[in-house]
Amino acid sequence: MGFVQRNADSHVDVLIVGAGPAGLMMANWMSRCGVKTRIVDKRGTKIFNGQADGLQCRTLEIFDSFSFGHRAWIESNHMLEICLWNPDPKTGVLARGDRIPDTIPNISRFQQVVLHQGRIERFFLDAIRENSIETGCNGEPGTKEAEIKVEHGVLPTSFQFEESAADDEDAYPLTVQLRHLTEEEATPTQKATLANGQSIVDGLFRSNLSADDTQDVINLSNSIADKAGRTETVKAKYMLGADGAHSWVRQQLGFKLEGESTDYIWGVLDIIPITDFPDIRMRCAIHSESSGSVMVIPRENKLVRLYIQLTTTNVEDGSGGKKFDRSTITPETIIASAQRIMQPYKIEYRYLDWWTAYQIGQRVGNSFSLHERVFLAGDAVHTHSPKAGQGMNVSMQDAYNLGWKVASVVKGQANCSILKTYQSERRRIAQDLIEFDHRFSRLFSGRPAKDVMDEEGISMDVFKDAFEKGNMFASGIAVDYGASVIVAKSGSAKDQGDGTEVLGDEKLRVVSSDGLATGLEVGKRMPSFKVLNQADARPWHFQELLKSNGTWRVVVFAGDIRDAAQKRRLDRLGEKLGGEDSFLRLCTPSGARYDSVIGLLSCHSAPRQETTIFDFPEVFRPWDENDGWDYWKVHVDDQSYHEGHGQAYKNYGINPTRGCSVILRPDQYISWIGEMDDYKSMDSFFRGFMVDQRTKGGAKTAIAEGSKKGLFAGTTAGTNGLRGAANGVEMTAGDGATQGAGGM
């Protein structure tokens, strides 16, 4: 097996096992936040499990927050309508019974789309490369060495956890042995992994990876050859097991997947269809009278995916249960089933891109975390039917939920209490998903009812109703995280989550005033409407202002700042936020701009043309001695020239005079809603889990020794004349006001 190189030893903040969508999402977060990270995958090359997947609206919102949403949006196939086909009640002939929108209108600025998984991995790899060179994850920012690279052909072989060090935030309690596989070991035979972990060799395989992978494949092959056979030891502070249904990490922890398999067996074909079926480019649910069901998922590049119910292949598994007989399942038998179900329409193909078959199993992990040092995500903790297009989405969203939490603890910004919310929030989602999938699969796999008296059959009205309700769930928009130290809402935190205790000190608990923004729900993601930048009148979808960069955000809906009383409230809030003991400052390390840990955004409701950014207190438009004012923080709810009126206040249900304030997590979920000027609650909320940077590690920051004039003290005298003025006409030039700038 090659020699063991004893000296190879590395310390990382985060070790990620598995480079599928969940692992890549985690690596992407780490790269964005500049956290020292390694990501390994035992596979020597990418495998195209399932090849394609639906992307929910919420997943696209997340991609967009990482600035690659448009790539998915442009390349993918968009699904707009679901057509429900069943036997006509009178003739028994297959007919289109109903149409419903595939994505519920107005829940998101994106709609559900379908795209090859290889492309999604490509977007992540590009983003991780760019981010990590920029932030300097594993070296100096700007250098190639800073890049987080996915290490393929690397297998973890042993795991140790030093429990006594679990509470020491500077410790590396995890020790993992990694073995670098030979190229032969790392190249799997072409297999299609099934959703429930079983495998069947697929028929045809043609990669439709785009050309930009070529260099990666060459590099990969070289790098495997270089290190083949080597073993090394990695010490880590945190680890993520995103290594699939057979998760090695889960096995090390001794955690279990709980649940069971169903009797439903489905075949999957990715083909370019030759057909006279008129809705082949729509998403369709086709129930035949007695031959089973087909789901049609139109894809990119003329492809269509068919999920086809197989009925005649059950065999006893020897222990009383049923298993399907693999040998009878071929593309030929699958398309024959589709032809039976879809008759009198014809369907055939000349080009088959990929195929598989699976038996639906629905399981959830009994625990998602070991001492908040090791976490599990994705297929490692939930498996279910692929037809609702949830798998990849929920997996990526697991890691999306976890990533910023781990990063902010590693960076000493938040204390580790927030890490418990991962299991509370995501295990609950997995439980809801399995329940949804169970109901959905039964309705989909059942025979349609012949009439109202046919109780064993599935009523098509019930089916449609479930589909519509399921659509809200499936969009990812319905996710509603329960009360916790980072979600200030009332009620039982245990009941709202998976049972984990995630509240801090009950006496310090902050609860929101939901009534101040009737269109917002604490625990859900911030919805998006268009607002205008005050300084340049450009319309932005509100979510576009909420890039995933690891910062919390206080959003001040300032109301009508023409109103004198309201303006006074805003000024007083600005004074507190700008003060030297403001939580903005306390949470920020010395030397960083005061809004780099908790950002400040505002949106007012006065007419844009009657206001300027200088009507806002300075803290809302941060000053920089090289760049002048920050023109990208103050917004307004007003009419745009070319993109209509977002009506943000109306849609968010916020009083246009008095406004309100909202705290958003780094993942855009709403933590708190309160009065616009309720500085005290904001302060209490952040004190619940954020680390005071003045006292941290005994190091004092400049703030304790600095000027008493608040945040803005200490900027260069030469520009004070400019900064002091809210309006040039009224300004009296300060010392050297026009001589202070360089180059003049």
Cβ atoms of 179 and 158 within 8 Å: the answer is no
Distance in Å, CB of 588 to its own copies, minimum = 22
CB-nearer residue toward its own copies: 173 or 389: 389
Q: State residue 19 phi and psi, 5-degree precision.
A: -115, 40
417, two tokens: 């209490």
d(CA 517, CA 674): 9
| C-alpha dihedral (723, 726, 730, 734), degrees to nearest 10 | -10
For the chain, the maximum distance between any two Cα atoms, rounded to a whole number of angstroms, is 91
Write down how long the chain is: 744
Active-site entry in 119, 179, 283, 299:
299
User: Residue 346 or residue 696: which is nearer to its own copies going by CB?
Assistant: 346
Q: How near is the Cβ of 34 to its own copies at its closest, in Å?
A: 18
Task: Please tell me the distance from the alpha carbon of residue 584 to that of residue 593, in angstroms, as a whole number.
Answer: 10
Nearest-approach distance from CB 110 to its own copies, in angstroms: 9
Smallest distance from the beta carbon of 586 to its own copies, in angstroms?
28
Give CA separation, 13 vs 42, 156, 692, in Å.
20, 17, 21
Indicate the residue among 80 and 166 with the shorter CB distance to its own copies: 80
78 DSSP β-pair partners? 113
Q: Smaller CB distance to its own copies: residue 175 or 647? A: 647
Phi, psi (rounded to 5 degrees) for 423: -65, -40
Which residue is catalytic, options 172, 307, 349, 652?
307
Peptide bond preceding 344 in cis form (omega within 30 of 0): yes
Closest CB 224 distance from its own copies, rounded Å: 24
Contacts of 209 (CB under 8 A, 6+ apart): 46, 118, 122
The active-site residue, picked from 21, 87, 298, 386, is 386
Amino acid at 392: M
Q: How far is the CB of 217 from its own copies (least distance, A)?
A: 16
Which residue lies nearer to its own copies by CB, 250 or 283? Answer: 283
Tell me, yes or no, if 64 is annotated catalytic. Answer: no
Q: Where are the beta strands (DSSP E) in 67-122?
A: 77-78, 81-87, 94-101, 113-116
SS3 readout for 565-617: HHHHHHHHHHHHHHCCCCHHHHCCCCCCCCCCCEEEEEEECCCHHHCCHHHCC
Helix (H, G, I), strand (E, B) or coil at 273: strand
679 is catalytic: no
Q: Which of 53, 398, 595, 615 is catalytic?
A: 53
CB of 344 to its own copies, least distance (A): 6
Query: Which of 280/478 has CB closer to its own copies?
Result: 280
What token pair was written down for 744? 């003049």
Catalytic: 32?
A: no
Q: How far is the CB of 584 from its own copies (least distance, A)?
A: 22
Q: What angle do CA 23, 27, 31 make, to 5 degrees?
A: 170
254 or 728, CB closer to its own copies? 728
For residues 383 and 364, what is the distance between their CA atoms, to the nearest angstrom?
A: 7
Please state the closest distance from residue 177 (CB atom) to its own copies, in A. 36
Nearer to its own copies, 485 or 636 (CB): 636
How big is the CA angle at 330 (ends 329 and 332), to the nearest 5 degrees? 125
* CB closer to its own copies, 706 vs 736: 736
The helix/strand/coil state of 109 is coil
In the chain, the amino acid numbered 104 is: I
Assess contact for 225 and 180: CB atoms under 8 A.
no
Least gap, CB of 392 to its own copies (angstroms): 22
Spatial CA neighbour of 711 closest among 619, 586, 630: 619
Alpha carbon distances (Å) from 340 to 286, 346, 655: 11, 9, 58
Burial class (CB in 10 A: 0-12, 13-18, 19+), 143: exposed
Which lies closer to its own copies via its Cβ, residue 459 or residue 647?
Answer: 647
Return the structure tokens found at 258. 């709980």
87, 288 contact by CB (below 8 A) = yes
- Least separation in angstroms between residue 119's CB and its own copies is 16
How far apart CA 666 and CA 525 sit, in angstroms, is 11
Instruction: Round to whole Å and give the CA distance between 600 and 574.
Output: 11
Instruction: Tell me the closest approach of the beta carbon of residue 48 to its own copies, in angstroms.
Output: 19
Contact 411, 275 (CB under 8 A): no
CA 87 centroid distance within chain = 39
Q: How far is CA 474 from CA 22, 320, 381, 680, in A?
A: 18, 34, 18, 38
595 is catalytic: no
Query: How many whole angstroms separate alpha carbon 598 and alpha carbon 456?
Result: 56
Report the residue number, 111 or 445, with the smaller CB distance to its own copies.
111
CB 373 within 8 A of CB 173: yes
**Range list of β-strands (E), 565-629:** 598-604, 623-624, 628-629
User: Closer to its own copies at the Cβ: 98 or 675?
Assistant: 98
Q: Which residues are catalytic, by number?
A: 53, 299, 307, 386
